[in-house]
Amino acid sequence: MALLILNGGYYLYLQRAEEPLSAENANSGEQVLEGENGVTTITLLSEAVAAGKAQKIEQPVKVAESEAVKAEPRLCTSIGAFKEESEALQIQQRLMASGIGSEIKPEKVPAASNYWVYIQPLPDRSRATQKYRELKAQGIDSYLMTDGEMKNAISLGLFSKEKLANRLLEKHQSRGDDVALKEVPRFKFEYWVHIKPEDRELFGKELWDGLKESYEFAEKHDNLCEDGIATTR
């Protein structure tokens, strides 16, 4: 009985050895048994595939779509520039009445420079005070700088027109004062109304023409959106 079980097990072993190899086994490099002329030998799977005794099944490679669809650039609309925030608020309210959302943003822009005339800093506080008193005694408006980079300098005036500043400069030069003129940059704020991108299609020509009647100086900028608003420059 034991001999019968042993022979049956050996028969099943040989039958399994002659089955075609799957792609997974063929790629694994494991060993298999071959039956040839009643002799059992051990052969590597890679050698069996090369000899045509095993079949390598190619699995299709799945290529995932990794490229995201690029969103098309959006246009944003801005209206301005307004000198006063109250004007921008009026525009915002009129847009709101038409169901259009918007946001008001101030922008810092260069303004006309001022021109400062002053006497150069004197060596020490004592001399600066003496010079300041002399000017006061002569009825010349001035201001003594007591700290900062211009410490011990004496301010003679700040002008919006360079011509007037130069006139005062020449006057003090003729007196023998060590005077200088410095251009002082100035800035101001202007206000822009930025229409929300999702409401831009609601802002039609008729509405824009109505706004222009009230604010002839206003401009409408349609530019690429930057953080949800249009660039105004």
For residue 124, the 8-state DSSP code is: S
192 lies in a domain?
A: yes
pLDDT reported for residue 12: 52
For residue 19, the 8-state DSSP code is: S
pLDDT reported for residue 226: 76
pLDDT reported for residue 22: 47
HSE-CB for 214 with a 13 A CA cutoff: 12
pLDDT in tens, 192-219: 999 999 999 999 999 999 999 999 999 9
183 lies in a domain?
A: yes
Longest dimension (CA), the chain: 140
In the predicted model, residues of the chain with pLDDT beneath 70 are: 1-72, 227-233
| 84 and 167, same domain (yes or no) | yes
With a CB cutoff of 8 Å and minimum separation 6, the contacts of 125 are: 146, 152
Question: Domain total for the chain?
Answer: 2
| 142 and 177, same domain (yes or no) | yes
With a CB cutoff of 8 Å and minimum separation 6, the contacts of 89 are: 104
What is this structure's pTM? Answer: 0.54
122 lies in a domain?
A: yes
pLDDT reported for residue 225: 85
pLDDT reported for residue 71: 62
| 43 and 94, same domain (yes or no) | no
pLDDT in tens, 132-166: 999 999 999 999 999 999 999 999 999 999 999 99
| 137 and 46, same domain (yes or no) | no
For residue 147, the 8-state DSSP code is: S
Sign of CA dihedral 207, 212, 218, 220: positive
75 lies in a domain?
A: yes
| 25 and 86, same domain (yes or no) | no
200 lies in a domain?
A: yes
Owning domain of residue 44: 2-50
| 144 and 207, same domain (yes or no) | yes
Note every long-range contact of 55-64, with CB atoms under 8 Å and residues 24 or more positions apart, other chains counting.
55/20, 55/21, 55/26, 56/21, 56/23, 56/26, 56/27, 57/22, 57/23, 57/26, 58/23, 59/23
pLDDT reported for residue 209: 94
Q: CA of 71: how far to CAs of 18, 20, 42, 67, 204, in Å?
A: 58, 51, 60, 12, 24
